[in-house]
Chain A
């Protein structure tokens, strides 16, 4: 039996899972604060735009979105199987296409800033 190619995705799942676990709660807390009227200073247009315009900001935003997209897409694929959706090949294709499109979109939007 041939060795699996799943490590490609699992690498992003492990790295993404680690990053998401460490920072996702505080990121959600930030937008939740903004949504309830306590807008954090970083969400000022000038400030956030300046952050996203710098190379470090671009890199940070790309890494967070890329790893989050791929790790969650992979886990969603498994979740679909666990709920009884046995068309794993199709589910995997859809999930990974979505993650790839999201990754490309991230690069495009970052390039425009």
Chain B
């Protein structure tokens, strides 16, 4: 129906480059890339690497918004390069590695900090009642599933960390995705590990570093709404605190 659907388009890519072996600091390098309007930014980068400059380093894998590898700043906004469609962008696109993470090389960032935090919050089911397989499966109703399902959609792409100014200002902050995943397991009916996770997330560098900017939820490509998870963790932790300090006799 439309002639320009597959129209060729010349896109100017301004890519932040950094080579740890030769560069003191990152600098932009411009490329003029022949593109198709229906491409995503990742397609343009792949064309660039295959045809114009094989030295460009960036991460990607699935090309379908599942693996969470190709997060980068696209015109100043944290995006998955595979989800950023060229048709939504002007002819000049600025591409930088994700904010708030150290640059390993070009568009590749160092994710060690996030991975360490993810491990700390124990993002897996810690069964409330221990059973052996012969005793049957852990059952869950659809209503129980829907309580946490949204928070289970996280693909660990770290866009929320690149968007969160409090993480940028206070790198110790455990951050949106890790706390959301802790919350996801805390409210899972099969889980009994909340007390262990609270030791990590109900702390000053846990959820209390969050000031509810809400940027995490605005940039999340999977509509996880980390800001909601964190406010719910704050509310629950506040109830915990008052119970622990003023009504300790309520708990056995």
Contact = CB atoms under 8 A, between A and B. Distances in A.
A4 interface: yes
Interface string A4-46: 1111101100100000000000000000000000000000000
A95 interface: no
Question: Size range of the interface on B?
Answer: 10 to 19
Interface stretch (B102-110, B121-129, B195-203): B195-203
B203 A1 contact: yes
Interface stretch (B57-65, B66-74, B148-156, B233-241): B233-241
Interface in B95-136: none
A77 B242 CA distance: 22
A83 to B, nearest CB: 11
Nearest to A75: B211
Contacts of B237: 3-4, 7
Interface string B184-197: 00000000000000
A1 B204 CA distance: 9
Interface in B205-241: 205-206, 208, 211, 234-235, 237-238, 240-241
B200 A1 contact: yes
Interface residues of A, number: 14
B241 A8 contact: yes
Given A78-B211, A82-B211, A7 B240 contact: yes
Q: Looking at chain A's contact residues, is the secondary structure mostly helix, strand, loop, or mixed? A: helix
Contacts of B202: 3-4
B240 A4 contact: no
Contacts of B242: 7, 11
Contact of B205 (A1, A5, A8, A11): A1
B200 A7 contact: no
Nearest to A10: B238
B235 A14 contact: yes
Contact of B203 (A2, A81, A82): A2
A91 to B, nearest CB: 14
Nearest to A84: B169
Interface of B: 165, 169, 198-200, 202-206, 208, 211, 234-235, 237-238, 240-242
13 contacts: A1-B200, A1-B205, A1-B206, A3-B202, A3-B203, A3-B241, A4-B203, A4-B204, A4-B237, A7-B234, A7-B241, A81-B169, A82-B169
